[in-house]
Copies of this chain bind each other. A is one copy, B any other.
Amino acid sequence: MSPRPKGRTSKSDLRGKIIEAAWEQISREGASALSLREIARNLGIAAPSIYNYFSDRDDLVTALILEAYESLASHQKAANDAAPVENLHARLASIGNAYRDWAVTFPQRYLLIFGTPIPGYVAPLETIAPVAASSLNALISVVESFHQAGRLKVVDIDTRTIAALIWTRVHGLVSVDISNNLPPIGLAGTQLFQIEFKLIVDQFFKE
C-alpha cells in the first residue's frame, strides 16, 4: 500500500518529527489527549514504528517534559541575562514576567510539566529533577544576590526556602490562571499577577 520508504532513512530524523507532532497535538487538544496512533497517522507512519525511538508512551512523555523544562529554563536564563546584573529588582521583574509569559504562551506545556495530565504516567524523578531544578536557578540566584547584598527583609528564613515560596506563589497563581480556575473576582490574570508580584517583592526585598 504505502510506497515503502527506503529502509534506514539515515537523516529523516523521525524521532524529532514524532516529538514535533506530539507537541502539535498537545497544543491543540491538551496533554491528556496525546495519542501515539494519531501521531503516527499525522506522520504517515505505522504506529508501532514509534517504538523504534521511544520504549513506550511514557518514555515519549518524559522526553517532552524534559524538552519543556529546558525551554522554560532557557527562557528564564535569557530573561535574567537581559537585565543589568547589579539591578536586582530589574532582574527579578524580568524573570517573573518571563515565567508568566512562558506559561501563558505554552499553557499545555506548563500543565504537562506541573500537572498530572497523562493517565498512569509517573515522572521518573531521577531523570527530571536536575533539569527541573535548573529552571529555578535564575530565581534562586536573584534571591541569593539580595541576601548577599543584605537586602532581604526576612532574615529568619533560608534563602532557598524564600525562593521556593516565591515559586509556589507564582506557580499557584499562574497555573490556576491558565486552567481558568481563577475565582470570579473581575480581575484579569495579568492584573492579578502584577498585584501579587508587587506583594511578593514588598514582603521579601528591600529598597
Contacts and interface: CB of A to CB of B under 8 A. Distances in A.
A181 B114 contact: yes
A151 to B, nearest CB: 18
A168 B189 CA distance: 12
A195 B30 contact: no
Contact of A165 (B164, B168, B175, B195): B195
Interface size of A as a range? 35 or more
A192 to B, nearest CB: 7
A168 to B, nearest CB: 4
Contacts of A158: 185
Identical copies in the complex: 2
A contact face: mostly helix, strand, loop, or mixed: helix
A199 interface: yes
7 contacts: A129-B184, A136-B183, A165-B199, A168-B173, A168-B196, A169-B173, A170-B172
Interface of A: 29-30, 32-33, 111, 114-120, 125, 129, 133, 136, 154, 157-158, 160-161, 163-165, 167-173, 175-176, 179-185, 187, 192, 195-196, 199, 202-203
Given A161-B185, A161-B192, A165-B192, 18 more contacts: A32-B32, A32-B120, A114-B176, A115-B115, A116-B179, A117-B117, A129-B184, A161-B187, A161-B195, A167-B183, A168-B169, A168-B182, A169-B172, A169-B173, A171-B172, A171-B176, A172-B176, A199-B203
